[in-house]
A = this chain, B = another copy of it.
Amino acid sequence: MSPPEYPTPLSHVHTRTSFMHRRTAPGEVPGTLVTDPNSPDPVFQILKYSIDTLYENKNVRLDAILSAPEYQPDDHSVTWINIEGLGNASAVEALGKAYRLHPLALEDVVNAHQRPKLEPYENVIYVVARMPHPEMLNDTEQVSFFLGKNFLITFQEGTPGDVFEPVRERIRESKGRIRQPNAAYLMYALLDTAIDQYFPQLEYYVDLLESIEDRILKFPYAEVASELHTIRRHLLFLHRSIRPLQDMLNAIMREERFVDEATRVYLRDCLDHTAQLMDMLDTYRDVATQLMDMSVSAAGHRMNEIMKFLTVMSSIFIPLTFIAGVYGMNFDHSVSPYNMPELHWVYGYPFCLFLMAISVIALIAFFRYRGWLGIPESDRHHRKTRRSQR
């Protein structure tokens, strides 16, 4: 097993750095679908199941969804249409028309920068969730859900990776309650999966923070400011993504038209997960702030120590150099006995050295008295007290 101490450093992970821009111009007709030119073409998947029937097609044509009789919703089964990729506005419009989805909701589907929210419409509820991008830090992917009485339509942005596959597997293997003819439970299962994607990412950050704390404790002057800044920014971004999820889940639980009592118990569990996520986020942000404080105070302490050393050293040498300077003067002793008689004393040089020694001793004594040398008195005292207590 590889040593778990140091997680992959931040600089080695793909990170989104630029901000999103809006594509729709002010004054545009509301409900106009402007797709992102970089978005991939949509792939349609359909899965219709009841307790004992199952139709699945992983790459179905739009025509079939709209017309093939086996794919039409009915009251005994759940029809789940999943669209990956938002690059084709007319396909989205056609599907929207067939299932009577409101143009404003469809506009938000293709404008994939929405905050998590629920919008109730007459025949469906429209839910937007966000989950962390599978391969990029500081980025999230939008997942849109249209929940009807007996159908669920989901739109994904089409980034690599397929987080819904475990749920599909559970449907195929009929694990747990999933095959019940209950579209709301299916939406819960997908939402739960999407939200649980945040846990591994948060754990990556906590590993980073632990490794940074480790470094600060071992090497008090380590440079961690820029890393901590980045982490705090990413955590802030996650906070902004996760917080509205709570409102959204609460809104779903209030939608009694589409969500039954039993599913609500499960949604409450999902809500509890987001509460845990928020709690973790808050804790980590506090930890990051504290680590920042610790590293700043360590750096300040270090600078102070350097300055103190310089101060003490130059304070000691300044008078010495002055004395040496004085006896380097060239006053002419031959003119008068007042001109630097010391230079011509028998013990002149020893006297001068003695003067210097006195000055050094006096200054060191003064510094000790003031507690400016080595360990401060206080700490030494405290240690002694503690030692004697044991």
Q: How far, in angstroms, from A110 to B143 measured CA to CA in the complex?
A: 31
In whole Å, how far is A368's beta carbon from the nearest beta carbon of chain B?
A: 13
Known: A343-B331, A348-B331, A378-B215. A265 touches B306 (CB 8 A): no
Interface residue? A44 (CB, 8 A): no
Whether A196 sits at the interface, judged by CB under 8 Å, is: yes
**Measured between C-beta atoms, what is the minimum distance from A28 to chain B in Å?**
7
**Complex partner residue of A104 from B114, B265, B322, CB under 8 angstroms:** B265
Nearest CB in chain B: distance from A367 CB, A? 9
Q: Are A203 and B21 in contact (CB under 8 A)?
A: yes
Q: When chains A and B are docked, how far (Å) is the Cα of A309 from the Cα of B306?
A: 10
Say what secondary structure dominates the interface of chain A: helix
- Least Cβ–Cβ distance between A56 and chain B, in angstroms: 18
* Contact status B163-A236, CB under 8 Å: no
CB distance from A191 to the nearest CB of B (A): 11
Partner of A325, one of B166, B309, B325: B325
Separation of A306 and B367 alpha carbons in the complex (Å): 9
A30 interface neighbour in B115, B176, B223, Cβ under 8 Å: B176
Q: Is A379 an interface residue (CB 8 A)?
A: yes
Q: Which residues of A contact B (CB under 8 A)?
A: 3, 6, 9, 17-19, 21-22, 24-31, 102, 104, 108, 113-115, 117, 119, 121, 163, 165-167, 170, 175-176, 178, 189, 192-193, 196-197, 199-200, 203, 206, 210, 213, 215, 218-223, 225-226, 229, 232-233, 236-237, 240, 265-266, 268-269, 272, 275-276, 279, 282-283, 286-287, 290, 293-294, 296-297, 299, 301, 303-311, 313-315, 317-322, 324-332, 335-336, 338-340, 342-350, 352, 370-372, 376-379, 381-382, 385-386, 389
